[in-house]
Structure 1
């Protein structure tokens, strides 16, 4: 029996290791390709490791002011976008979960219906709106249009519906208003679900490409995906630098997951209970 358990654990470990290796292979290849010469990245026959390790690609891309600026714009915008997304969607979720007001049911149906509209279907109309508002080529056009999310409102609302009413009733008896209840009771309890929503918002901003390409032409406001796309188009032979830039662009997101992995797992568990 012990031998069977050991065999099962060994088999599961091997399978888990193989799956992990397969999942990480593209990322590892991009990182290692950044140490190759430009002619060696796509050379045949394929070589995973470079003939000679070199830091030139990484030092050159880090010396590119446009790359650093795009990383700063993207990172700062992603953080701001995540914070605003949490603020807007959590307050809306609390309103739909706990407050009573006219046409609440109809408004909630209207909000939920937007979840079923593909983002690509409203790109043109969204562009017309921000154009008429004079928001093109501004930092605001990157952040504001996508802050409100029906999916995030729904997720947070479901979490708030499971918070005991007794806590809220006790606070109301003590004279607390709705704002005080939300800030003192609901927000402190929302950290696990906020991690999931915040990281989702962060990734949505960090990986966005079509919307910034449509609305931004000023190189000073290019996001990292725009920068890498333009780099690939304008300097097609510098594949080593492109790989180095792609690896560095993935670094903040990887660190984010490593820092919050415990809370991500707990948030996933919470979402599975709703």
Structure 2
């Protein structure tokens, strides 16, 4: 007697096929976005190995016929470029430290202290987030001119240190810290300053990493404000140097691409070092 074979689980097979199609489609879309994001960076790095005519030759050729290391060697041997890189790095570190100090103190005050006109001041601080920076360039320039801050490191570091966005981000983190820790510190005789230094600062690594890198990138990539306030070549930041280099030596595109690659390297390295903390902290902020 013949035994009938069991029916195939068509629903299960159809569901698995749909899942695989969805996964493959998602992978293809993700790969397209990754390639679109990395292509300009990869082209800039490789263009640094090309000759001055090979960068803009037609038809387009991604890889050079002959890999020239001279562009990178020449730009690194330029004392003006290395000094500008070090000067920009020093300014970025100072700006980051100052920004985290000022904004974390303000965030602690708005998160934990009760004082007169607190809500009104908080509304004013948040409102500044909606004012485009370009609209206050002229008034800011007049202020720093009257303070005789032009052509100094201070004019690049101090004016932009306070940020409503950074205050808001750190304040939201401080609001999530249990008040029991603060109350225990008060019972031990700690004042507000010691509570901030001994309790809140050790716990502030997550927002400090995100906001610190944001401040570092903002200073490193700044261009409009420096060209308004700094005219001395000794005070130039790296973006000013590259802009001046492009205008003075417009035909040496391979050398320009090499300099741009080296200028972008510290930012990329910084992100690669802290990428896990950045992604984790952004996820945590989204959940809150």
Q: 1:165 maps to which residue?
A: 179
Shift of 1:80: 1.2
Shift of 1:67: 0.9
1:203 is the counterpart of 2:217: yes
Instruction: Tell me if structure 2 keeps the 8 A contact 1:193–1:270.
Output: no
Q: Deviations over 1:104-137 (max 9, x none)?
A: 1222122112111110111011011111111000
Which among 259, 279, 285 is matched to residue 245 of structure 1? Answer: 259
Return the alpha-carbon distance in structure 2 between the equivalents of residues 121 and 7 of structure 1.
Answer: 49
Instruction: Tell me if structure 2 keeps the 8 A contact 1:208–1:225.
Output: yes
Q: Which moved more, 1:178-187 or 1:54-63?
A: 178-187
1:37 is the counterpart of 2:51: yes
Q: 2:85 maps to which residue?
A: 71
Which among 199, 205, 227 is matched to residue 213 of structure 1? Answer: 227
Shift of 1:177: 1.1
**DSSP-derived class of the 2:45 partner:** helix
Q: CA RMSD in A?
A: 1.4
Return the alpha-carbon distance in structure 1 between the equivalents of residues 214 and 245 of structure 2.
Answer: 27
Larger radius of gyration: 2
Return the alpha-carbon distance in structure 1 between the equivalents of residues 177 and 166 of structure 2.
Answer: 17
Return the alpha-carbon distance in structure 1 between the equivalents of residues 220 and 235 of structure 2.
Answer: 13
Q: Deviations over 1:162-192 (max 9, x none)?
A: 1111111111112111111111211111111
Q: 1:54 maps to which residue?
A: 68
**DSSP-derived class of the 2:284 partner:** helix
* Deviant stretches of 4+, over 3 Å: 1-15
Q: 2:194 maps to which residue?
A: 180
Return the alpha-carbon distance in structure 2 between the equivalents of residues 67 and 6 of structure 1.
Answer: 51
Shift of 1:74: 1.2
Instruction: Tell me if structure 2 keeps the 8 A contact 1:216–1:222.
Output: yes
**DSSP-derived class of the 1:101 partner:** coil
Q: Deviations over 1:58-78 (max 9, x none)?
A: 111111111111111111111
Which among 18, 21, 31 is matched to residue 35 of structure 2? Answer: 21
Instruction: Give the alignment's TM-score, normalised by structure 1.
Output: 0.96
- Unpaired runs of 5+ residues, structure 2, are 1-11
Which among 116, 120, 131 is matched to residue 117 of structure 1? Answer: 131
**DSSP-derived class of the 2:202 partner:** helix
Which among 142, 147, 153 is matched to residue 139 of structure 1? Answer: 153
Return the alpha-carbon distance in structure 2 between the equivalents of residues 248 and 60 of structure 1.
Answer: 12
Return the alpha-carbon distance in structure 2 between the equivalents of residues 149 and 7 of structure 1.
Answer: 45
**DSSP-derived class of the 1:107 partner:** helix
Q: 1:106 maps to which residue?
A: 120
Return the alpha-carbon distance in structure 1 between the equivalents of residues 156 and 57 of structure 2.
Answer: 38
**DSSP-derived class of the 1:189 partner:** coil
Return the alpha-carbon distance in structure 2 between the equivalents of residues 192 and 216 of structure 1.
Answer: 34
Which among 92, 98, 102 is matched to residue 106 of structure 2? Answer: 92
Instruction: Give the alignment's TM-score, normalised by structure 2.
Output: 0.91
Shift of 1:12: 3.4
